[in-house]
Amino acid sequence: MKKYLLLTAAALCAASFLPAQTQRNLIEIKGGQKPVMAVPDFRGSGDAQKFMDTFNAALFGDLQSSGQFQMAAKTVMPLRIPQQPADFKPPVDGRSQGIWLTDWSSPPVSANYLAFGYTAVQNGQLVLFGWLYDVHQPDLRNAQAIGKVYLGSLNDAGARSVADQFAADILARFGATGLAGTKIYFVSDRTGHKEIWSMDYDGSNQKQITDYRAITTFPVVSPDGSRLAFTTYLHGRPEIFVHSLVSGRRLPFYNQNASMNAASDFTPDSQHLLFYSTASGGVSQIYECDLDGGNLRRITATRSIEVEPKLNPKGSSYVFVSGRGGFPQLYLMNTDGLDASRLTTGEGEAVNPSWNPDGIHIAFAWTRGFEPGNYNIFIMDAGTREFQQLTHGAGRNENPNWAPDGVHLVYSSRQGHTNQIWTMLADGTGQRQLTTQGNNEKPVWGKVAN
């Protein structure tokens, strides 16, 4: 229990095992029924062509990573690619007159939808003309789902921006949101010290955020993307620091006089911070405060270790980790700290809770059925207590955190000699490694501030 109190990895991680059985996905991901999306490479006129590799990679990646589509292979696409609606020529008396919708809806492409268009340079800007067509429609008038113009700067950043905008509009047609405009914050020791880093949703653009040259860990990001709180041992004991993600500067924060203060979550309105602390003089308890550390409110008052509080995005309850029953387990309680009830079964160790944006599902790590330290990722319906295992024996998997889209998870996995950051869909499929340098752990996924 001492290691648990001192914020070691063994105390704030977990995993699990379920007997072999067929389980219903708690969060439904379209299985074999995903629509097939064809996205041929776009071309650019003049100087716009210089940035088309970036554009094409971004558009395809945004749609593929969304988990909403089966992407048609570019190797089976027709040689003649439309760039604008005028390129389509309907058959006459059953004879082809050129490019037509059935070129894409028929084998070998067998697409449901086609995204096409082109870019040009106008007034020093990159201009994208983008269309989305339902290629199973009989005519062009009914086929068009999107026809829009997008503007960006004339560089790789602008090319990615217009691709992200077009992809976001496509996803919106299917009731989904994309991952563009989100960031993953994580802990890395690649410089010789544990520091906070950030990267884009696909693992690109990895950048160091802190440089305290001490153990700096457990990042949490505000829902509005404006602040990052974390725990650092800069002064020899765990304290909370807060950084502005807009200015990059450290912000004032008053730490309680305690042997441990550790950030855990922001409230859904981004105006308060949840943390756990030994400020009461005993074991760790749960507190809430203003963004500068003021107006302290104690939430739990027990003789047991209480850590990792996370407030439901709907603001109705806390999930947290407690040792009140022996080994750490997940508990649910009201926002006044009353009526705590255990969510997990009491087996093994259950930690690292993370609320889905829907306010219903919780991702966590659990050692159910395994020896201590053999962790896997689970999700649970907080209402029914029904749970589902997502990772199965492939390394030590912990610290799951939901993407803002509520469909993806980021987590850390030790498969071999190092910890690395991975993402996956909420049904456990689509696992993808994002980091390779050093040890990387404790990821959180947030929006980028406007």
pLDDT the model gives residue 48: 97
| Averaged pLDDT score across all residues of the chain | 90
Same domain membership, residue 152 and residue 43:
yes
The residue type of 260 is M
What is the separation of C-alpha 225 from the centre of its chain, rounded to a whole number of angstroms? 13
Per-residue model confidence as pLDDT tens digits over 399-411: 999 999 999 999 9
Is the pLDDT confidence value at 197 over 60? yes
- What percent of the chain is modeled with pLDDT above 90? 80
Q: What domain range is 347 assigned to? A: 2-28+179-447
C-alpha to C-alpha distance for 447 and 183, rounded to whole angstroms: 6
Q: If pLDDT is split at 50, 70 and 90, which confidence band does 98 have?
A: confident
Mean pLDDT computed over 320-329: 92
Is the pLDDT confidence value at 7 over 60? no
- The answer to whether the CB of 18 falls within 8 A of the CB of 26 is no
C-alpha to C-alpha distance for 125 and 439, rounded to whole angstroms: 41
In terms of pTM, does the model score above 0.75?
yes
Domain boundary among 156, 173, 190: 173
Same domain membership, residue 320 and residue 426:
yes
Is the pLDDT confidence value at 1 over 60? no
Same domain membership, residue 349 and residue 300:
yes
Q: If pLDDT is split at 50, 70 and 90, which confidence band does 371 have?
A: low
Is the pLDDT confidence value at 235 over 60? yes
- The answer to whether the CB of 350 falls within 8 A of the CB of 330 is yes
Same domain membership, residue 18 and residue 102:
no
Domain boundary among 112, 142, 173: 173
Same domain membership, residue 246 and residue 267:
yes
Same domain membership, residue 321 and residue 423:
yes
Same domain membership, residue 219 and residue 136:
no
SS3 per-residue string spanning 177-196: CCCCCEEEEEEECCCCCCEE
Query: Facing residues of 243 across strands?
Result: 228, 250
- The answer to whether the CB of 319 falls within 8 A of the CB of 382 is yes
Per-residue model confidence as pLDDT tens digits over 414-436: 988 999 999 999 999 889 999 99
- In 167-305, the DSSP E strands lie at 182-188, 195-200, 207-208, 216-221, 227-232, 239-244, 250-251, 261-266, 272-277, 285-290, 297-298
Per-residue model confidence as pLDDT tens digits over 127-173: 999 999 999 999 999 999 999 999 999 999 999 999 999 999 999 99
Domain boundary among 140, 157, 173: 173
Please enumerate, as own/partner, the contacts of 323-329 that have beta carbons within 8 Å and a separation of 24 or more: 323/1, 323/4, 328/4, 328/11, 328/14
pLDDT the model gives residue 373: 65
Is the pLDDT confidence value at 183 over 80? yes
Number of domains in the chain: 2
Is the pLDDT confidence value at 30 over 90? no
Q: If pLDDT is split at 50, 70 and 90, which confidence band does 14 have?
A: very low
C-alpha to C-alpha distance for 159 and 51, rounded to whole angstroms: 6
- The answer to whether the CB of 40 falls within 8 A of the CB of 77 is yes
Is the pLDDT confidence value at 369 over 80? no
C-alpha to C-alpha distance for 220 and 124, rounded to whole angstroms: 39
Q: What is the CATH number of the domain that holds 284?
A: 2.120.10.30
Q: What is the CATH number of the domain that holds 116?
A: 3.40.50.10070
